[in-house]
Chain A
């Protein structure tokens, strides 16, 4: 039973990590119907920026908690700036183009950003310091869940609650929902659609950066390629839950995290990704629009 619990919590942590990236995917998709392939790269840039800030501040001999907070803050700012700029360059001119063209543009952006970091920094794996300290009150439970995992779970939960509140109640959230439903109509009633789309990219990138810092300090290393794999996993999670839906992205991520964790734990670790994908195919056969996605009746 304890083994089960361990796998359950492992899957939960893994799922929350996917969720932080999947949220950005699903928000962007909901508003511009674009598979933002470069989203994983934003997450990678967030992690890298944090690493650079941490290294510089560590050499200056600052306090650990202060470093963590400042690094996370800088990573969020920079990732958002990258997300914003990326949208302006690669996606905005393609709003009226065929959707696949925007997808190729996103792939190009992804390649560009990967190689930009590769050339400007390094192709090696860089060690990322584990900055989250072990809390004393966690000691009795340390064999089940460590402090870094706890921090990841809590942060993800907070981010999700804040996002939901923002989308449900704030003015920008309302504008986002309007744009997602019908862009032209939203424009007609005075929503500044360009601004809404920029904001979506900024918020999505910020959550990805938070994810980047947490995951990097959990796993302990970063390189220029981590964004691609994480991006694919997050994309799978977002589709699994029903793309465009925020609770769906979270649920999809958790389901994916648990699937991987349990299959690895009980069956075999070689086929971890195979099981995850087979599970995905099975779910989509029975619920073609994802777990929480609404299948819209087509109007003729």
Chain B
């Protein structure tokens, strides 16, 4: 048994040494025409993959055992996170602690930390918005950053040309984003699955490329600077005060979003989205207007990206098209899937993990993104449903004795 395991690990280790040989070991210096052989790397790879492969097989075996148990029992096991979430004796104190922490945060931690938190909350908004489209309505959207872009640019441009203030544009930006959501929604009504994904991807790139190339309109790749920060009844504030103000603004905005999204999920349209996700044909047979439901999903999803965009522009005071690339869309999608599709708590957790993890992985310096990629893979392999899995509400029939 043990010998067998060792053999397997040894084999994996040899395989990885072969695999990484040219890229890890050979370093060619084309200027001086010398080859560096970095044999130490080969040794590291060998030892590392030996240990990791043993660990990997152990974890995979445990995961498979768990699945088998579920199949034998016939009941899905309730995971720890779900049990905690459904237990009021846990949720109420937890909410209390979280709110105290959130209120005290900007006064305890540095300005830098507060800024990171604001970014994380912008991602909460974006994640919850995309969750409507991807998680609830099941429409894979790879161009979500386009609506974010629309929100940010509508504030920047309206302010630059007409001097509009933050609060008036907050509504206008969201409205414009929703309008773009509908514009995108119309042509893709007939598409499904990956065809939808590629058209949304294309749409996102079109918006970004237009912003990058139409210099007269959007000032091109150099972007727009000196966007005013949000005002508070004309009170003059220094940078620290403004940051704290934006922080609380974001907390309010996040709470508002959570409230609305939560109400939406249980509303008539929310149920229609879920039905549409599960089975399009059956859903139409039940008398749900597919066209209207899909367009609503795109429009409402985009609205939150519009809000987030306006706030982002006001927070950073500078925007350019480079902030709204395909990677941005992918990042937001990662928030939703990593957190747990369709689950509000999941998406919030996902946003914080995804934004804070790279920040706190800074001690790994240049290995940060490498580690982040590995974390994504490992997370998905061992928890494919995300951090907080959604449980579908089911009617439980209990036999009375």
| 0/1 interface trace, chain B 322-345, chain A, CB 8 Å (1 if under) | 000010001001100110010000
The answer, among A100, A112, A288, for a CB contact under 8 Å with B134, is A100
Interface residue from B30, B140, B375, B384 paired with A108 (Cβ < 8 Å):
B375
- B62 CB to nearest A CB, Å: 12
Q: Across the two chains, which residue of chain A brings its CB closest to B200?
A: A281
When distances are taken between beta carbons in the complex, the residues of chain A under 8 Å from B205 are 273-274, 277
- If over half of B's interface residues share one DSSP class (helix, strand or loop), that class is named, otherwise mixed; here it is helix
Known: A101-B337, A111-B369, A290-B195. A90 touches B202 (CB 8 A): no
| Contacting residues, chain A, for B197 (C-beta < 8 A) | 35
Within the complex, the shortest CB–CB distance from B259 to chain A, in Å, comes to 26
Is A120's beta carbon under 8 Å from chain B?
Answer: yes
Across the interface, which residues of B come within 8 angstroms of A90, CB to CB?
A: 377, 380-381
A188: CB under 8 A from chain B?
no
Q: Return the CB mask of A17-55 against B: 1 if under 8 Å, else 0.
A: 000000000000100000100000000010011011101
Chain A residues whose CB sits within 8 angstroms of the CB of B16 once the complex forms: 85
Cβ contacts under 8 Å, B96 to chain A: none
Does residue B60 face the partner (Cβ distance < 8 Å to A)?
Answer: yes
- Most chain B Cβ neighbours within 10 Å, of A82, A100, A113, A120: A100
B301-332 CB contacts (< 8 Å) to partner A: 326, 330
- Beta-carbon nearest neighbor of B134 in chain A: A100
Instruction: Tell me the bound Cα distance from A290 to B195 in angstroms.
Output: 8
Q: Please measure, in the bound complex, the distance between the C-alpha atom of A31 and the C-alpha atom of B140, giving whole angstroms.
A: 20
Question: Which of B33, B206, B281, B380 touches A94 (beta carbons < 8 Å)?
Answer: B380
In the complex the two chains form, is A112's CB within 8 Å of B199's CB? no
Q: Nearest CB to that of B60 among chain A residues?
A: A93
Partner among B35, B192, B206 whose Cβ is within 8 Å of the Cβ of A277 = B206
Choose among B26, B27, B195, B203 the residue that contacts A239 (Cβ–Cβ < 8 A): B195
Chain A residue contacts of B19, Cβ below 8 A: 78, 81-82, 85
Distance in angstroms between the alpha carbons of A300 and B282 in the assembled complex: 8
Q: Which residues of B contact A274 (CB under 8 A)?
A: 205-206, 209-210, 213
Quick one: CB contact mask for A95-109 with B, threshold 8 Å, 1 for yes? 001101111110111
Contacts of B195 in A (CB 8 A): 239, 243, 284, 288-290
A125 CA to B33 CA, complexed, in Å: 17
How many A-B contacts at CB < 8 Å in the complex?
165
CB-CB < 8 A to A197: which residues of B? none
Residues of chain B lying within 8 A (CB to CB) of residue A81: 18-19
Task: Determine whether B24 belongs to the interface, using a CB cutoff of 8 Å to chain A.
Answer: yes
From the candidates B33, B191, B198, B373, name the one contacting A109 in the complex (CB within 8 A): B373
B370 near A: Cβ within 8 Å? yes
Looking at the assembled complex, report how far the CB atom of B343 sits from the nearest CB atom of chain A, in whole angstroms: 13
Interface residues of B in 363-401 (CB under 8 A from A): 366-367, 369-370, 372-377, 379-381, 384-386
> Is A267 in contact with chain B by the CB < 8 A criterion?
no
Q: Assess whether A117 is interfacial by the CB under 8 Å rule.
A: yes
By a CB distance below 8 angstroms, the chain A residues around B379 are: 108
Q: Is the CB of B385 within 8 A of A239?
A: no
Q: A100-B140, A243-B194, A271-B209 are in contact. List 12 more A-B contacts (CB 8 A).
A: A55-B28, A93-B381, A97-B385, A100-B333, A107-B330, A111-B372, A273-B209, A280-B198, A280-B199, A288-B192, A288-B195, A300-B282
Q: List 24 A-B contacts (CB under 8 A).
A: A55-B28, A56-B26, A56-B28, A74-B22, A85-B19, A89-B377, A90-B377, A100-B134, A100-B333, A104-B333, A105-B376, A105-B380, A108-B375, A108-B379, A108-B380, A112-B374, A120-B23, A239-B198, A271-B213, A273-B209, A274-B209, A277-B203, A284-B191, A288-B192
Interface residues of B (CB under 8 A from A): 15-16, 18-20, 22-24, 26-28, 30, 33, 35, 41, 60, 63, 134, 140, 187, 190-192, 194-195, 197-199, 201-203, 205-206, 209-210, 213, 280-282, 326, 330, 333-334, 337-338, 341, 366-367, 369-370, 372-377, 379-381, 384-386
